[in-house]
Amino acid sequence: MSDTNLPFVDNFLPRPLRNEKTVSSSGAQTRRLTGKRKPSLPAGLFFLKSPTFLILVAVPNLATVTYYGLIAAPIFESESILRVSSPASAQKGDTSAGASMMGKSNASANTWMLKDRLESWGAFQHINSQYNIADIYAGGDFVARSGGLSSLWHRGSGDVATRGYFNRSFDLKIDEDTGNAKLTVTGWTPDAATDIANALVSDATESLNQLNAREDGEAIKAGEREVSRLTKALEADDLAISQWRGRIGILDPKIDYTSLSQKQEELDVKRIEMSGQYNALTKYTPNSPSAVPVQAQIDALIDGLKNAAGDARNMIQEAAIYEGLDIRRKADAKLLSSAEEALQESRLKASQSHYYVEVISPPSKPQAASGPYRLKWIGIVFVISMIFFIVLG
Instruction: Give me the tens of pLDDT residue by residue for the chain, a chain 393 residues long.
Output: 444 444 444 444 444 444 444 444 444 344 444 444 555 556 556 566 788 888 889 999 999 999 998 999 999 999 999 998 887 665 555 444 444 444 455 667 788 888 899 999 999 999 999 998 988 998 888 888 887 887 776 666 567 888 888 999 999 999 988 889 999 999 999 999 999 999 999 999 999 888 888 877 777 888 888 999 999 999 999 998 888 878 877 777 666 656 656 666 676 777 777 777 677 767 777 776 766 777 777 777 777 767 766 666 666 677 778 788 889 999 999 999 999 998 888 888 777 778 889 999 999 999 999 888 889 999 999 999 999 988 886
CA distance 291 to 296: 9
pLDDT, residue 14, reads 45
CA distance 26 to 3: 16
CA distance 375 to 79: 22
Q: Can the peptide bond before residue 372 be classed as cis, meaning omega within 30 degrees of 0?
A: yes
CA distance 312 to 260: 7
The residues pairing with 183 across neighbouring beta strands, listed in sequence order, are 80, 172
The residues pairing with 35 across neighbouring beta strands, listed in sequence order, are none
pLDDT, residue 212, reads 84
* DSSP annotation of 45: G
Distances (CA, A) of 368 to 67, 78, 387: 20, 11, 35
Nearest Cα to 332, choosing from 243, 227, 253, 224?
227
pLDDT in tens, 131-190: 989 889 988 888 888 878 877 766 665 678 888 889 999 999 999 888 899 999 999 999
pLDDT, residue 315, reads 66
pLDDT, residue 80, reads 95
**Chain CA centroid to CA 233, Å:** 38
Q: Can the peptide bond before residue 42 be classed as cis, meaning omega within 30 degrees of 0?
A: no
Nearest Cα to 357, choosing from 143, 251, 212?
212
Is there a contact between 78 and 197 (Cβ–Cβ < 8 Å)?
Answer: yes
Helix (H) or strand (E) holding 317: helix 291-352
